[in-house]
């Protein structure tokens, strides 16, 4: 059975999440009302998934995510009332495997938690589209390449730039005139070298590195 830790400073939200998860056959092993409690509980209880509110007292969800990822094997799903904002991007940068809006349906919540626990992608294409909008609406920032970036080949950097621009594997294959299998191999190597778990994290890594897709 999938084991989940709930981290949210609102009792009502935690109660609602618990009801949905338990009715769906998912075990809630603990609750936390702030980031510090969440980190301690994650280390003590070893959940498979942490549902992490990003706006909490004492320690916010981004810092808590970073510490949980470093100290445990739990996969963190960020929870937010807002759409894609800077806290969401920071949470993905800190190691969250994805994020959910708090108005997610019960079925969507259960599916996301099960996918996260199984190590599967949990970020929908529509979410990636909103991330593209978030980045395009903000002024450029100085590049800060992620750890492992210097290990990427020129071709891998080219592929990462296209992932960062929201291209699918099929679109990348067509644009670079290579096979789908070749693209998948490059993406797998990129994810391994940069310690990425999904395309949302890859988008953030590409933007951090200042990569732009090739012209033409």
- Mean pLDDT calculated for residue range 35-62: 95
Q: To the nearest 10°, the Cα dihedral for 132, 69, 145, 133?
A: 10
DSSP-derived 3-state class of residue 10: coil
Name the fold adopted by 3-122. Rossmann fold (3.40.50)
Q: What is the pLDDT of residue 137?
A: 65
Residue 159: helix, strand or coil by DSSP? helix
Is residue 138's pLDDT more than 90? no
Band (pLDDT 50/70/90 cuts) for residue 142 is: confident
Q: Are 75 and 30 in contact (CB under 8 A)?
A: no
Average pLDDT over residues 78-89: 77
- Going from N- to C-terminal start, the domains of the chain cover 3-122, 135-208
pTM value? Answer: 0.80
Q: What's the whole-number mean pLDDT along residues 34-38?
A: 96
pLDDT digits (tens, 9 = 90+) for 166-188: 888 999 999 999 999 999 999 99
Judged by average pLDDT, the poorest of 7-16, 60-69, 130-139, 206-215 is 130-139
Q: State mean pLDDT over 14-19.
A: 96
Average pLDDT, the chain: 89
Phi, psi of 50 (to 5 degrees): -115, 120
**Topology of the domain comprising 135-208:** Arc Repressor Mutant, subunit A (1.10.10)
Long-range contacts of the stretch 37-42 (C-beta < 8 A, 24+): 37/7, 38/5, 38/7, 38/64, 38/68, 39/64, 39/67, 39/68, 39/71, 41/5, 41/7, 42/5, 42/68, 42/71, 42/72, 42/74
Burial degree of 6 (CB within 10 A; 0-12, 13-18, 19+): buried
Is the pLDDT reported for residue 127 higher than 70?
no
Contact (CB, 8 A) for 61 and 86? no
User: Are 131 and 89 within 8 A, CB to CB?
Assistant: yes
């Amino acid at each position: 059975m999938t084991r989940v830790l709930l981290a949210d400073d609102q009792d009502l939200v935690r109660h609602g999440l618990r009801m949905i998860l338990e009715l769906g056959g998912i075990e809630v092993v603990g609750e936390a009302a702030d980031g510090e409690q969440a980190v301690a509980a994650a280390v003590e209880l070893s959940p498979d998934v942490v549902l992490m509110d990003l706006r909490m007292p004492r320690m916010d969800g981004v810092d808590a995510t970073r510490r949980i990822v470093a100290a445990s094997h739990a996969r963190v799903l960020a929870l937010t009332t807002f759409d894609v904002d800077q806290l969401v991007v920071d949470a993905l940068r800190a190691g969250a495997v994805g994020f959910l809006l708090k108005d997610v349906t019960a079925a969507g919540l259960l599916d996301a938690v099960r996918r996260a626990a199984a190590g599967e992608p949990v970020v929908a294409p529509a979410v990636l589209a909103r991330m593209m909008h978030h980045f395009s609406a903000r002024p450029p920032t100085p590049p800060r390449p992620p750890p492992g970036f210097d290990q990427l080949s020129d071709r891998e950097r080219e592929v990462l730039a296209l992932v960062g621009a929201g291209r699918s594997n099929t679109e990348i294959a067509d644009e670079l005139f290579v096979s789908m299998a070749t693209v998948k191999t490059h993406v797998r190597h990129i994810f391994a070298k940069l310690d990425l778990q999904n395309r949302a994290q890859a988008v953030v890594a590409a933007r951090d590195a200042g990569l732009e897709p090739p012209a033409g």
